Amino acid sequence: MKMLGKSACPGDFFYIPAYGEMQQQGFVIARFIENVSGNLGYLIEVFERFYTTPPGTREDVDIRNRLFKPVLCSFRFSEVPKWRVLFSDPDYDRAQSNYDDIKFLFYSSLWVGGKDIPQSQWSGSLSIIEEAVCWRTLHLIFRVNAHLAGIFGADEPYDYDRLPNDLREDNPAAIARVVSLAQAMDDKFKAWAAESKKKK
């Protein structure tokens, strides 16, 4: 398993540490879509299924439902260990991620499927469109956990004011818990990688 970083390729599947319904340690799987021009960040989609052990093959990854709408991520790992790429897909096409339907809200414009559109030309509702935020990896774990806990639905934008204290990024105890989770999952993936290597 290679480490996730700025050399990631579209179609790469990687894990994000997460807590399950019973607070067990595990992860969800995300897919890298593209590096968005203008230094906006790395466009990813996160799927809703929670895992405690890695799927055996790429075909075993459940991509039927997203946990939330696609977001931008920094892929900078200053606070948590780097995540690992579990599978790559050289045949990936961003149309598989419904790329043309991905939207982000800027101050005066929208980003829709890679195109900038003035808000004045948009006839739909803006309230349900994801804001163009480049998520830090630590904060992305918080978001994953908030959605898994049922705080937000799959089509709802992130709303900090609705978060309980133990899921807030400015709570030192919550930060320590997420960092501990990330380290524990990194240790598990190292062990799984070593075990897989022995079997070859």
Q: Is the pLDDT of residue 16 over 80?
A: yes
Tell me: the pLDDT tens digits for 101-136? 999 988 788 899 989 888 888 877 777 888 889 999
Q: Is the pLDDT of residue 71 over 90?
A: yes
In a domain, 6, yes or no: no
Range of the domain at 75: 13-199
In a domain, 35, yes or no: yes
- pLDDT at position 200: 62
The rounded distance, in Å, linking the Cα atoms of 196 and 200 is 7
In a domain, 7, yes or no: no
In a domain, 5, yes or no: no
Question: Residues of the chain with pLDDT > 70: what percent?
Answer: 99
Can you read off the two tokens belonging to residue 38?
Answer: 């203008």
In a domain, 8, yes or no: no
Q: Is the pLDDT of residue 59 over 90?
A: yes
The values of phi and psi at residue 82, to 5°, are -60, 140
Place of tokens 């690992």: 84
Tell me: the pLDDT tens digits for 162-195? 999 999 999 999 999 999 999 999 999 999 888 8
In a domain, 1, yes or no: no
Number of independent structural domains in the chain: 1
Q: Tell me the average pLDDT of the chain.
A: 92
- pLDDT at position 120: 82
Least confident of 10-14, 44-48, 74-78, 129-133: 129-133
Give 44: exposed, middle or buried? Use CB within 10 Å, 0-12, 13-18, 19+: buried
